[in-house]
Amino acid sequence: MINLIRWFMTSIKRERGATAIEYALMVALIAVAIIGTVYAVGGGLNDIFNAVKDALAGVPPAATTP
């Protein structure tokens, strides 16, 4: 257990540990931005697809040739 704490403390002091934490924070922020964008745009896309579906509801299917 003490070795784990010692390793953690030395990794915080090293540049590599700080860089890994910075990358983890960037990935987390990008994920939050993507989730927010999908949530905001998702409703609009759903409305567009429903309008297309309703417009195509009265169109007969195309005939297929053998």
- Model confidence over 11-42: pLDDT tens digits? 666 666 667 788 888 999 999 999 998 888 87
- Model confidence over 44-62: pLDDT tens digits? 888 888 888 888 887 777 7
Q: Which residues are within 8 A (CB) of 18 and not within 5 positions of it... i.e. 6 or more apart?
A: 12
Q: How far apart are CA 37 and CA 20, in angstroms?
A: 26
Is pTM beyond 0.75 here? no
Give the pLDDT of residue 29: 93
Phi, psi of 65, deg, nearest 5: -105, 145
User: Residue 63's pLDDT band (boundaries 50, 70, 90)?
Assistant: low
- 47 or 7, which is more confident? 47
